[in-house]
Every structure is written in structure tokens, then in C-alpha cells.
């Protein structure tokens, strides 16, 4: 029974990864018409609206309440989650305007480093030898991806913003882990509406505007799938895998996003990008095999 629950959690983590993978390439296309902060707002509002609709449908279909509701005890984690979810997508959208979608997608793997270290230091989750090896390799790969000009060692500002995103989401993943025993729908709806409204207020304050209704609609739909459903499955996965292990399986998302980005934008990978990709793949092998070993015990 325990193994079945863990394998089911792995499937949820992979589904979450696949859904989020479409975010970077499509967001980069939409950023041609939608400013970064507004884009972040629409993504989370789409998640909130979409998952609220799912909640209504689910409620009408069944009167039985099976999920635990959030309480005041979880308020610090909920507030932290919302605040980080306001900051992180804004940084990501800014980063996407300054670097390629493929580069940003691959750099998203640094999230596993941030999540694992924070899980270890703050929440005392165990990290095995293979995951430590993965953390080292992913960090090396991220450094390579962040260097814009190897000859002069100039740093890519777009990569810097994506790395900040990973740190924010590393913190956010661990906050969400503390809420994973609660109703995932409620958590995602709160994430969507609160983070979306927060980003929207910031966008209005800094004077961002958008007039293309079609792009707004696409951003909302993208938010439902890439953020709403993805986070919903991610929370379910965390229940049985923990923050560090879930992020290890979820780390296939950047590779899917990278592949889509290369196809959509017809980008030709640089030599340094290919080196970073090879190191990243090896790092992810170590991360995923450690998770499998632990599950079999």
C-alpha cells in the first residue's frame, strides 16, 4: 500500500512537471504584448479562477468533505507562500525578457538545489550522497549557463533573475510542503487569487498596461494549466515524497521546457549550453536514482 502511494505520488510529480514545462516558451511569446508583472499576475489569476471552477464542479458532484481545511496554525506558511509567489513569477518574466527561453528552462533545475538545501537547513529533511552529488553538478551547470561571455566572464542578468526565482521557489516549495496535508484545491486557489491580485496591484503601481484581450485570455488559460493544475499535482506528490524528493522528479520539467523552447524559437544551442546540458542531465540522474533507492527501502 505504501509503495503504491509513493508510485502514485511520482506520477503526480511528473504530471506537475509536464504541465509547468509549457510555461516558459509560451510566456516568452506572450511577453511581446504583455508586460512582465501583468503577465505574472494573469498566470496566477488563471490558476486561481480555473481551480475555483474545479472546486465548484467537485463540490456539486459530491457532498462528502474528505480534505482537511487550512487553519490559523498554517497562516505563517500561507502568507510566506503567497509573498514568494508574488515575487518569483515577476522575476521569471523579467528574466525571460533578458535571456532565451531554453536557457531559462534549463536554469530552472537550480530549484532542486534551493529546495533541497532549505529542506535540510530549516526543515531537517535528509539528503543522501547522490543528491549531494546532484546539487554539486546542477550548481556547476547553472554557473556555466549564467556566464554570458566566457572570454570576459560577463554575467547574464537574465540568468541572475532566473536563479533568484529558483531560490524563491525553493523557499516556497518548503512552505507548501507544510500545507500539503491540507486540501490541495484550497491551497492552489489561495495561491492563485492572492498572488495574482498582489502582482496586479504592483503592475498598476508601476504603470504597466496591456490592451490585447486575446493575449490576456491565453495567459489566463496558460496559468490554469501550467500553474493551477501543476501546483495541484505537485502538492499531492509532496504528501508522500517530501519537498526534496518531489523536486527531484519535478526536475524533468526544465528539460521538457528547454526542448519546446528550442523548437518554438528555432534556437541553435551554443557549445557552453550543450556542456551545461550534459552536466545537468548527469546531476538529474543522481537526484532521481537516489529517490528511487529510498522508495524501495
Percent pLDDT > 90 in the chain is 39
Choice between 125 and 40, residue whose per-residue pLDDT is larger: 40
- Provide the pLDDT for residue 246: 81
Q: What is the rounded distance in angstroms from the CA atom of residue 52 to the CA atom of residue 159?
A: 34
- Provide the pLDDT for residue 213: 94
Q: Which of 17-26, 224-233, 242-251 has the lowest mean pLDDT?
A: 242-251
For residue 154, list its beta bridge partners.
149
**CB-based contact 130:286 (threshold 8 Å):** yes
Q: What is the rounded distance in angstroms from the CA atom of residue 248 to the CA atom of residue 14?
A: 10
pLDDT per residue as tens digits for the range 248-294? 787 788 888 888 898 988 878 888 889 999 998 998 788 767 644 33
Q: What is the DSSP string of 113-169?
A: HHHHHHHHHTT-----HHHHHHHHHHHHHHHHHHEEETTTTEEPHHHHHHHHHHHHH
- Provide the pLDDT for residue 202: 96
pTM: 0.81
Helical ranges in the chain per DSSP H? 2-21, 23-30, 36-61, 75-98, 101-107, 110-121, 129-146, 157-177, 184-205, 213-222, 230-250, 252-265, 271-296
| Average model confidence (pLDDT) across the chain | 86
Does residue 40 have a pLDDT over 50?
yes
pLDDT per residue as tens digits for the range 172-218? 888 887 887 788 889 889 999 999 999 999 999 999 999 899 999 99
For residue 32, the 8-state DSSP code is T
Does residue 63 have a pLDDT over 60?
no
Does residue 226 have a pLDDT over 80?
yes
Helix (H, G, I), strand (E, B) or coil at 75: helix
- Provide the pLDDT for residue 64: 62
Planar angle of CA 29, 171, 225, nearest 5 degrees: 35
pLDDT per residue as tens digits for the range 136-176? 999 899 888 888 655 544 568 888 999 999 999 889 888 88
- Provide the pLDDT for residue 88: 93
Q: How many helices (H) and strands (E) does the chain have?
A: 13, 2
Q: Which of 138, 122, 121 is nearest to 130 (CA)?
A: 138
Angle (deg, nearest 10), helices 230-250 and 110-121: 90
**What are the sequence ranges of the domains in the chain?**
2-296
Mean of the pLDDT values across residues 1-24?
A: 86
Choice between 295 and 124, residue whose per-residue pLDDT is larger: 124
Name the band, by pLDDT with cuts 50, 70 and 90, for residue 295. very low
Does residue 62 have a pLDDT over 70?
no
Does residue 38 have a pLDDT over 90?
yes
Amino acid at each position: 500500500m505504501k509503495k503504491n502511494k509513493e508510485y502514485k505520488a511520482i506520477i503526480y510529480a511528473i504530471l506537475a512537471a509536464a504541465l509547468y514545462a509549457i510555461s516558459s516558451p509560451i510566456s516568452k511569446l506572450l511577453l511581446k504584448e504583455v508586460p512582465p508583472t501583468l503577465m505574472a499576475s494573469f498566470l496566477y489569476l488563471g490558476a486561481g479562477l480555473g481551480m475555483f471552477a474545479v472546486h465548484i464542479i467537485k463540490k456539486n458532484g459530491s457532498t462528502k468533505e474528505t480534505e482537511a481545511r487550512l487553519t490559523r496554525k498554517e497562516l505563517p506558511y500561507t502568507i510566506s507562500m503567497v509573498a514568494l509567489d508574488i515575487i518569483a513569477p515577476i522575476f521569471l518574466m523579467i528574466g525571460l525578457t533578458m535571456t532565451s527561453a531554453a536557457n531559462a528552462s534549463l536554469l530552472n533545475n537550480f530549484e532542486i538545489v534551493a529546495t533541497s538545501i532549505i529542506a535540510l537547513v530549516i526543515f531537517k529533511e535528509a539528503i543522501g550522497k547522490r543528491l549531494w552529488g546532484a546539487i554539486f553538478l546542477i550548481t556547476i551547470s547553472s554557473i556555466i549557463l549564467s556566464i554570458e561571455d566566457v572570454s570576459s566572464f560577463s554575467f547574464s542578468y537574465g540568468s541572475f533573475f532566473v536563479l533568484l526565482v529558483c531560490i524563491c521557489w525553493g523557499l516556497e516549495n518548503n512552505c507548501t510542503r507544510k500545507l500539503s496535508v491540507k486540501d490541495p484545491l484550497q491551497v492552489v486557489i489561495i495561491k492563485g487569487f492572492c498572488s495574482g491580485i498582489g502582482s496586479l496591484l504592483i503592475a498598476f503601481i508601476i504603470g504597466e498596461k496591456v490592451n490585447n484581450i486575446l493575449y490576456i485570455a491565453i495567459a489566463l488559460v496558460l496559468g490554469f494549466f501550467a500553474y493551477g493544475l501543476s501546483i495541484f499535482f505537485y502538492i499531492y506528490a509532496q504528501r508522500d515524497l517530501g519537498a526534496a524528493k518531489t523536486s527531484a522528479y519535478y526536475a524533468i520539467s526544465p528539460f521538457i521546457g528547454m526542448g519546446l523552447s528550442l523548437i518554438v524559437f528555432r534556437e541553435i544551442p551554443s557549445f557552453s549550453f550543450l556542456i551545461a546540458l550534459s552536466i545537468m542531465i548527469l546531476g538529474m540522474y543522481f537526484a532521481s536514482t537516489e529517490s528511487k533507492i529510498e522508495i524501495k527501502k
